[in-house]
Chains A and B, each alone.
Chain A
Amino acid sequence: MELRFTAEQEAFRKEAREWLEANVPKEPLPSMDTKEGFAAHREWEKTLEKGRWGMVCWPEELGGRGADLFDWLIFEEEAYRVGAPLRVNQNGIYLLGPTLMEYGTEEQKKRFLPPMASSDEVWAQAWSEPNAGSDMAAIRTTAFLDASGENYIVNGQKTWASRGCWADWGFGLFRTEEGSERHKGLSMMVFPNDLEGITISPIEQLDRETGFAEMFFDNVKVPVKYLLGEEGKGWNVAMATAGFERGLMLRSPARYQATARKLVDLYKEHEDTAPVSAREAVAKCWMKAEQYALNTYRTVSFLKAGGKIGSEASLNKIFWSELDIEMHELALSILDAVGEILPYAPAAKGLVGHWLDGYMFALAGPIYAGTNEIQRNVIAERLLGLPRK
């Protein structure tokens, strides 16, 4: 066990810090779940790409720096330290990227990863359907091979695709075997969102932004080269993607450590008026953010030693999503009556609106990436060995 950073890691941190301090926009960008915000975030990705910071832990030939996951964590820490914009291509770089590394052909990797790292191609994920949410094995959107054997013909509907209105590409799970049921006969595929027959319509979210979208497929021709992994084995590929999402990459610990630091500052600012119980509650949130970070470093050590992310990913998902809500609820309780003021209202000074926005989004945490109830089922049955029947 060695929990001090190496000289190389420190040098890497320094380089990242200096670059970020010089390049991060002085004013926060508009939300990436809006049209202008999406465009502004894509611009930021271009800037990152110029500095070769797009995805530091990917091989150089695929658009990365050939650094490791520890370096990625360090980069994330530095990015959150200076309040760098969020990553508009997170579905690509954090979820599909690692999946492609594991299941993609060499050709697919070369084709998709570099423009993903640079966000020349931004990705949306299309798993959920109106009748297949938690029960993803109930997917009904079909993709049957045509007579020529060159294309899958896709028909059906996906929903809740984050940033689906503006993304260039999508990936998801489709039923490729006629008459198949549940986990069998599903395949993972990628597709350009502008293929003929795809209609994408925005859904207004709780916060009024159109951050997610419905996708309709009407006889859409998807070339077979866009199949990812084996035909009919899509469920396994999808579970690997979900593992990266829940277990490591979607929510880097630096995000919660940054929130915890802001929470400490907020409390200090309002120490005279904050509820008496807030003091230790703030300290506890700070502690939990720290626990989350420690566990992530532990996971990365495990991966570097040859381990693979398994059902423990479900523990992670519950921990960060509940912590996020806890921190934002506490912040709003410290803000008291001002807490309900929208960001643009004159009384919303400092980070007031930021906490409210953050709270609204935190509420989605226990729902997306697999609801926390589903994660609890997974933990009970796969980690603790409780009987299914």
Chain B
Amino acid sequence: MDFSFSEDQKMFQETLRDFLTAEHTSATIRELWDSETRRSSELWQQLCEIGIMGLLVPEEYDGMGMDEVDLVLCLEEMGTHAFAEPVIPTLVGTRLLADLADKSLAQEWLPKVAGGEAILAVQYPESPFVQDAHVANLLILQKDGELHALTPDQVKLTRQDSNDPSNCLFSVDWTPSADTLIAQGEEAAKLSAEAFDRGALAAAAQLLGCGQRMIHMACEYASERKQFGVFIGTFQAIKHMCSNAQVQVEYVRPAVYRAAFSLANNSVNRSVNVSMAKLAAGEAAHTASRVSMQVHGGQGYTWEQDLHLWMRRAWSLDLAWGSKQMHSQRIASIVIDQGVPTAPLGESWLA
């Protein structure tokens, strides 16, 4: 039993932090918002050089063959920096391709993913849209319980602008065929369920980083802004708002880390553990955004102030990979209707 991360895992996070701090500022985000694709191939290349995209790729496909526990701190860090490049769908697609019974797609695509030459898009039934379909080299789509893999020339995309300019959503028109089919029946159901949980965990980790950052922004602002001759951070109303948000965010942390462990080890409680992480993270990030905006006063309501870059991330990540409502209902049906092996009835309760 050990709830801590290894030095390597922490170092990986630090490397990413240094990179994002230097190369991905709020100015970068605003520039990307004004660009054609809102995506940066340079950033993607650098990310791959750090090794993030090859992390989940099995070693036989030139990757590092690591797991979600190795990854989760990095995902959190991306949330901290409102980094929205298509990491989540590519990671989800990576594991999906690696887990297919037929290894030909994995052989073709995963070395490219690890090398930064391919981006994957993954559709899931809970959303009518596909994220980052415009930059994907391979799209994994679902219809009638079947999984299909299509190249960009096989789909027609319609852009659906989101309130979060960093979130690139598309409707996808496509026709399934025997050529595009990659899994069906039980195999497809299993892969699709795992993909959904993996995406939800990744979004939860990003929400965690994002929520924490918004609290820190509030505290920084409250330590600089004066009213009535004193820093507004000295007012207890401001302190207590920030503290309440911090309590909520702090308790998301172990839930997210545990969900990563559950995924990496495919534990029996994987889905409920992931849903708890996603719901708790969504709620905490929501609180953090409300509090941070209030602390910023009128400044918080401007386009100029950077806070909204994170608020918009929090809103879109909350809806991605199952909304709060969806996960809350899933927890209720598992906890109330099915019954989970809760503490301390079974040896696996914590994992």
Contacts and interface: CB of A to CB of B under 8 A. Distances in A.
A319 B246 CA distance: 11
Interface SS majority for chain B? helix
A257 B280 contact: no
Interface stretch (A32-40, A115-123, A217-225, A261-269): A261-269
Contact of B243 (A6, A380, A388): A380
Given A291-B251, A389-B234, A267 B219 contact: no
B280 to A, nearest CB: 6
Contacts of B344: 13, 74, 77-78, 81, 254, 257
A319 B247 contact: yes
Give the residue among B5, B238, B351 with the most A Cβ atoms within 10 A.
Answer: B351
A376 B255 contact: no
Given A3-B351, A283-B332, A319-B247, A301 B343 contact: no
Given A1-B4, A1-B69, A384 B279 contact: no
B254 A295 contact: yes
B254 A286 contact: no
B1 A376 contact: no
Contact of B239 (A3, A254, A291, A380): A380
Contact of A298 (B233, B254, B348): B254
Contacts of A254: 343-344
B244 interface: yes
Interface residues of B, number: 53
B140 interface: no
Given A78-B344, A301-B1, A380-B242, A283 B247 contact: no
A300 B3 CA distance: 8
Contact of B350 (A284, A287, A294, A312): A294
A318 interface: yes
A4 B351 contact: yes
A5 to B, nearest CB: 6
Contacts of A81: 344-345
A315 interface: yes
Nearest to A385: B219
B257 A379 contact: no
B336 A279 contact: yes
Contacts of A21: none
Contacts of B4: 1, 298, 301-302, 305
Contacts of A369: none
B334 to A, nearest CB: 8
A292 interface: yes
B256 to A, nearest CB: 10
Contacts of A291: 251-252, 254-255, 276, 280
B336 A268 contact: yes
B250 A312 contact: yes
A23 B234 CA distance: 54
B230 interface: yes
A183 interface: no
A383 interface: yes
A375 B244 CA distance: 10
Given A257-B343, A380-B243, A388-B234, A298 B3 contact: yes
Interface in B266-318: 276, 279-280
A93 interface: no
A302 B253 CA distance: 14
B3 to A, nearest CB: 4
B261 A3 contact: yes
B222 interface: yes
Contacts of A287: 255, 276, 279-280, 331, 335
Contact of B242 (A284, A286, A386): A386
B174 to A, nearest CB: 35
Given A294-B258, A297-B1, A279 B343 contact: no
Contacts of A5: 1, 347, 350
B240 interface: yes
Nearest to A68: B1
Interface in B187-224: 215-216, 219, 222-223
A373 interface: yes
A6 B347 CA distance: 9
Given A283-B336, A387-B231, A297 B254 contact: yes
A189 interface: no
B350 A376 contact: no
B41 interface: no
Nearest to B246: A379
A379 B265 CA distance: 35
A287 to B, nearest CB: 5
A286 B269 CA distance: 14
A213 to B, nearest CB: 32
Contact of B343 (A70, A77, A284, A386): A77
Interface in A271-326: 279-280, 282-284, 286-288, 290-295, 297-298, 300-302, 304-305, 312, 315, 318-319
A107 interface: no
Contacts of A290: 255, 276, 343
Given A280-B329, A291-B254, A1 B246 contact: no
B243 A295 contact: no
B103 to A, nearest CB: 29
A171 B163 CA distance: 59
Contacts of A386: 219, 222-223, 233-234, 238-239, 242
A105 interface: no
B243 A283 contact: no
25 contacts: A1-B2, A1-B257, A1-B261, A3-B258, A4-B351, A6-B1, A13-B344, A70-B1, A257-B344, A283-B335, A287-B276, A290-B343, A291-B255, A295-B250, A301-B3, A312-B250, A315-B251, A319-B251, A377-B239, A380-B242, A385-B219, A386-B234, A386-B239, A387-B223, A388-B234
Given A286-B342, A294-B257, 12 more contacts: A1-B3, A1-B6, A3-B2, A3-B262, A4-B265, A257-B342, A291-B280, A294-B3, A294-B255, A318-B247, A381-B239, A387-B233
Interface of B: 1-6, 69, 215-216, 219, 222-223, 230-231, 233-234, 236, 238-240, 242-244, 246-247, 250-255, 257-258, 261-262, 265, 276, 279-280, 328-329, 331-332, 335-336, 342-345, 347-348, 350-351
Interface of A: 1-6, 9-10, 13, 70, 74, 77-78, 81, 253-254, 257, 260-261, 264, 267-268, 279-280, 282-284, 286-288, 290-295, 297-298, 300-302, 304-305, 312, 315, 318-319, 373, 375-377, 379-381, 383-389
Closest 5 CB pairs of A and B: A77-B344, A380-B239, A294-B254, A301-B3, A283-B332
